[in-house]
Structure 1
Amino acid sequence: MSTLLDGRVAIVTGAGRGIGRAHALELARHGARVVVNDYGVSLSGEGTGETPAESVVAEIEAMGGQAVVNGADVADFAAAEAMVQQAIDTFGGLDILVNNAGFVRDRMLVNTSEEEWDAVIRVHLKGHFAPLRHAGAYWRNEAKAGRTRAARVVNTSSGAGLQGSIGQATYSAAKAGIAGLTLVAAAELGRYGVTVNAIAPVARTRMTEGAFDTSAMPEPEDNSPVVAWLASEEAGDVTGRVIEIEGGTITLENAWAHGPSRDNGTRWTATDLGPVVRDLIASAPAPEPVYGA
């Protein structure tokens, strides 16, 4: 086993299957002690009664690592707080938070129900906010007490959130929100020794199978080395970044940035704006195409 994360304590949400499972195992291989969170739901978020986190903990223990099961609904504010406290009580602290949990209910925009919108936004966006809020408060208190930890957060965005994806308006909106949350959290928590980054993983999982041909897609495990490095003390100078991963290719996303501008010196009139805006568009790079367009 590697010692890249030796002695560090991690929470990985949605770690019972797929990409989250791969993250938990990779962190453990590098020496981290892991809280393996999984609520045990179907692809669309319904309860199944399954406990896949237990098998992941067993795999970690079989390789000589330490891990514990957590079954919290990460979008439940109190349950997320208890999950953070479980890491502290079990392993003596918390150094790494990997927010990964989520599910999809894909629909074209005009076919999306209010319930589907609320469910997807809740698990992805609130399910990132709640653990991050409680972990961030712990790290702030540690820093104020003179025990600043080299804390690391790795969130999970998506190409759907960065470039958009037809048939996934809700998922795309949630993942775009996670990218924005990552930027703000990085700026706010840096003073407490915390870095906050996000990945946009590409992999063949339950969430992608059935939506399109996944036969050539990378494996979930291809994403996890980037997470392990971002979770390390070595990565302390990297924060507020989104990294897309597709097999052996990693891409640093530029995200939103100021482009060309025109100053009128006073308020614009609506009738003057057409040629001005079109000129700005013509002088700017073309946006990435929306997936599925």
Structure 2
Amino acid sequence: MICQDRVVVVTGAGRGLGRAHALEFARQGARVVVNDLGVARDGSGEASGGPAGEVVEEIRALGGEAVANGDDIATEAGARAVVAAAVERFGRLDVLVNNAGFLRDRMLVNLAEDEWDAVMRVHLKGHFLPLKHAGAYWRAESKAGRPVDARIVNTSSGAGLLGSVGQGNYSAAKAGIVGLTLVAAAELGRYGVTVNAIAPAARTRMTEEVFAQTMAAPAEGAFDAMAPENVSPLVVWLGSAESRGITGRVFEAEGGHLCVMDAFRHGPAVDKGARWDPAEIGAAMKELLAQAPAPEPVYGAS
């Protein structure tokens, strides 16, 4: 019960990873706002409260407390409303898990502008706006003299860290979430808020086709390494008081594998002490690249 009585908002919690996170938070004693629009895998279709409502019923069947929320978190009003839903129903907010998203996969030369915009909106803007309004709430609490021990867990992806062929829009959005995480961690720490990101790998509605093509189903009774429930313990721990002081980090989670990602950092360098001539760059760069590790391959690259 490491999240006993903590109040948690999970966006995109009607299915897949978000549902698994919401259920695990509830098992660990949290009260949960289950946010989901209930649209199709690619974000199309009419909004429906069905998926969020079903997760709420599952939580209540476990003896937990939860409320469904159908606000569009990629709008200013919707993001403000989902934070207000937690405060109004449960009296406060302790944890925000930004998880909502969908895919519009295309090779870059076939990627339409609206497919780019839609993915950027749900992933990147859909992280920024809830983060902004939750951060504003915690800043006000801190300035009012009320203690804050809050957490934000953002959802990036291996695609955002290494790139993924056919997912230029998704990779760019997920990389942007890492940058947003680093800035938010630096800005919100003074108010008692930590901000971290995960890069999960799991079989969900978004990824089931890929896994069906590349991986055999686990044998009956065997550990299912791609089950979304495997990622949730890390998310719940990051949302707990135990993770205090850990901020600005990106964690990879897949099956039983946990990894602290080592992102961009200053590597080999040379300083001439004066302006370079373009003709000099080649030799200098050859030496620098010889000292630097080779980049990891982009997912899907031959």
Range class of TM-score, shorter chain: over 0.9
Aligned residue number for residue 128 of structure 1: 127
Amino acid aligned to 2:44: E
Secondary structure at 1:257's aligned position in 2?
Answer: coil
Aligned residue number for residue 85 of structure 2: 86
- Using the aligned pairs only, state the percent identity: 64
Aligned residue number for residue 5 of structure 2: 7
Aligned residue number for residue 179 of structure 2: 180
Q: CA deviation at 1:274?
A: 1.1
Aligned residue number for residue 214 of structure 2: 213
- Residue pairs, 1:195-210, within 5 angstroms: 195-210=194-209
**Structure 2: tracts of 5 or more residues without a match:** 218-224
Aligned residue number for residue 222 of structure 2: none
**Structure 1: tracts of 5 or more residues without a match:** none
Verify: 1:243 aligned to 2:243, yes or no.
no
Secondary structure at 2:106's aligned position in 1?
Answer: coil
Pairing partner for 1:222 from 230, 253, 259 = 230
Secondary structure at 1:210's aligned position in 2?
Answer: helix
How many residues get paired?
Answer: 291
Alpha carbons 1:160, 1:291 under 8 Å: kept: yes
Amino acid aligned to 1:100: N
Alpha carbons 1:208, 1:214 under 8 Å: kept: no
Q: CA deviation at 1:43?
A: 1.0
Q: CA deviation at 1:48?
A: 3.9
Alpha carbons 1:204, 1:214 under 8 Å: kept: no
Aligned residue number for residue 220 of structure 2: none
Secondary structure at 2:141's aligned position in 1?
Answer: helix
Secondary structure at 1:42's aligned position in 2?
Answer: coil
| Shift in alpha-carbon separation, 1:24–1:142, aligned structure 2, 3 A | same
Deviations 1:235-284 (A, max 9, x none): 10211000001100101001111110000101112111112112211110
Structure-1 separation of matches of 2:109 and 2:60 = 47
Verify: 1:254 aligned to 2:252, yes or no.
no
Alpha carbons 1:202, 1:218 under 8 Å: kept: yes
Q: CA deviation at 1:213?
A: 2.5
Amino acid aligned to 2:275: R
Give the TM-score normalised by the residue count of structure 2: 0.94
With 209-218 and 231-240 compared, the bigger mean Cα shift is at: 209-218
With 72-81 and 205-214 compared, the bigger mean Cα shift is at: 205-214
Give the superposed CA RMSD.
1.0
Structure-2 separation of matches of 1:85 and 1:17 = 23
Deviations 1:142-189 (A, max 9, x none): 000011211000000000000110110100000000011111100110
Q: CA deviation at 1:77?
A: 1.2
Aligned residue number for residue 290 of structure 1: 298
Q: CA deviation at 1:49?
A: 4.1
